[in-house]
Amino acid sequence: MSDKQSSNAYWQANLRIIWICLAIWALVSYGFGIILRPLLSGIKIGGTDLGFWFAQQGSILVFIVLIFFYAARMNKLDREHGVDE
């Protein structure tokens, strides 16, 4: 595989990971916290409904998990393409 093809494959994989993280972020923050909140109001967690929990606390926890997921996946991708530190 040429350098250009390898570089393109690396960036395509990187963009795929970014889009997955952005989709999860949008689903959790806007979907569960705002749009789907009325549907989640019947489910109780921590003394409040699930939609409120996602809007106030759950989305932050998901964001932290996404940061660690992205870092781990990019480290693996870097090793696969030979651009790791």
Evaluated on CA atoms 61, 65, 70, 71, the torsion sign reads: positive
CA dihedral 16→17→22→25, nearest 10 degrees, is: 150
- Which sequence spans correspond to the domains of the chain? 3-81
pLDDT of residue 1: 61
Bigger pLDDT: 60 vs 85 = 60
CA 19 to chain centroid: 8
- The pLDDT score that the predictor gives to residue 33 is 85
Q: Supply the pLDDT for residue 42.
A: 87
- Quick check: pTM over 0.85? no
Residue 11, pLDDT score: 93
Q: What is the pLDDT of residue 53?
A: 86
**pLDDT tens readout for residues 25-83:** 999 989 888 898 888 888 888 788 888 888 888 889 999 999 999 999 999 999 998 88
